[in-house]
Structure 1
């Protein structure tokens, strides 16, 4: 995969004005080059209904496993080193642009236990890690992990959770900082068919993201083995789903139960506030 981003023009001192000390924000407005290769593995025992008879035999247990590994910049770094290319600000360049070098891996596993035709219990656990090295000190923004949203910890909106104990003051301007190098998330969901195409769900989600390095613009975001478990956010909620066979529409209401962010109410489940703690999500398909 080759990813090349080129911004042809900007006003004088633009980057120094908007992001003098924020490498993530600067990166999003700079030219960059990513040449990566990877391997993805997918396995499931889920059976597809017959297209002719539309028949479907209930499976007692359905599982799905996804795993991937991706690396970037190694070939370019080797060529740069062998040809004694000049570094600029400590980094090699190609076509006059700094190129990214990193390794990233993810794994996700989900299992659904169908109790009977109407009731089921689903569980999901997933994680990932990305490590910049060599020619990079930070992962490319589009390769970093984020938390929250319709397929994450549903008590938070997309890109409004983490990293770690980081406290976002403005979701509009702080979203650039709410990304990380490590991801961990878990979900347990009970699903039941009501009538017609309508289904209901009750869920508990947990997880967060963290950074590998202690970035100045992401205070409290660094992963530490002795404290990370205290920084796992927890949410709970209810949902309605409209199953039209070929696609499913989902409306979930998530509520914060434990909020690890600094300066925030740590246990909203004890002191709930509807405006502060409730988040609605509309999506297509199950969360996992």
Structure 2
């Protein structure tokens, strides 16, 4: 995979080229389905390939472009992060968690295969993510280790898994806006922040000022992503979303829409988009793709 850095490309063309490159790299980083165990490898490929917006890999690539990162290191970081994200979706869809039958417009893994296979798919994708991130990158070992540590922390109990645990424990409860934000900073925001920082670290050791700006951007985008998810869950249909619509309300889950209302939630998403743009001001036009991705996150329809 090569990094798509042509400044003359429109955002749409850049995004399509980057998504295609990520898809190709993911295919190469996965075991083939004719490798034993056949069923597990086929199910891993079913879960990971041929679907999704690839927002997290796009953030990795955009941040890497900002710091002129090595293309091979970026590809590994982007694919590792997407594997972690998809593993979380596979487990989240299982009956013991959100119990959903539709993901990315097709039957979820436990429906297409079985629950035990879905559990193993998530476990195997998580392991594969750290394997590819730890191998083959043309960056200093110390920085590579920092990237592995960052992804591990963002995935675990102080990141995504912790947010999932709080989410499951919050069904039917009344959360304050601050509590809801804390939950989503972990559940959704931790991996989105990791995407931005991983892409940057693939290029250089970060100065404190750079890290502060990227952190502020990632926090705004991470919260905006969840706010928009809540809005779409309340307003879009399943065919548009590629997953079951209206599940949050049906499960009595606290959301931005249930706490703030629909229109204030839309206004909050727009404010967060502006905050993301403001955080990138020190980087000037070099952060163009990151700005465009903030726009995509807030203005998406699915």
TM-score range, shorter chain: under 0.3
Normalised by the length of structure 2, the TM-score is 0.25
Q: If the length of structure 1 is used for normalisation, what is the TM-score?
A: 0.26
The structure whose Rg is larger is 1
Quick one: higher RCO (CA 8 Å, sep 6+), 1 or 2? Answer: 2
> Which is strand-richer, 1 or 2?
1
